[in-house]
Amino acid sequence: MNPLTLLGGALFGAGVCISGMVRPSKVLGFLDFDGAWDATLLVVMASALAVTVVAWQVVARLRTPRFGTAFPPPPSPLVDARMLGGAAVFGIGWGLSGYCPGPALVALVAGVPATFVFVAAMLAGMFVVERGDRSNRPDA
């Protein structure tokens, strides 16, 4: 176990628990614009972005990561049907249940059957695409 990535995961896990993002009902309270609308998700995104913007500024001032060999290459400029279609398909799935990948994995610890069903189906979907791809592409 790498202590650095363990720490990163621990911070992430604490964040999704404290913010309430591990509860699909709270996420749906934002995504469903009818009824008692809950803007918390926007606050989570905005405050997280404030930190990641600073993180990239620090990256720009460093030559290499503290414990790694290189920072990620510049983002791909490619905008194609696959990427936009995939984002749309993700949006439908997200809107149906209120689960997104990270919080769903953390929520497994609560032992609610629906979370296991969601994660199993998600991993199956990922496996199908990975198998079809034959090449590994980085995120974002």
Q: Which of residues 57-76 bind other proteins (CB under 8 A)?
A: 58-59, 62, 64-72, 75-76
Region of residue 111 (phi > 0: left; psi between -120 and 50: alpha; otherwise: beta):
left
Residues 77-136 that bind other proteins (CB under 8 A): 77-79, 82-102, 104-110, 112-114, 117-131, 133-136
Is the distance from CB of 38 to CB of 24 less than 8 angstroms? no
> How far apart, in Å, do the first and last CA atoms of the chain sit?
25
Binding to other proteins by residue 138, rule CB under 8 A? yes
Instruction: Report the nearest approach of other proteins to the CB of residue 84 (Å).
Output: 6
Instruction: Report the nearest approach of other proteins to the CB of residue 96 (Å).
Output: 4
Closest CA to 19 of 47, 44, 36, 50: 44
Instruction: Report the nearest approach of other proteins to the CB of residue 73 (Å).
Output: 10
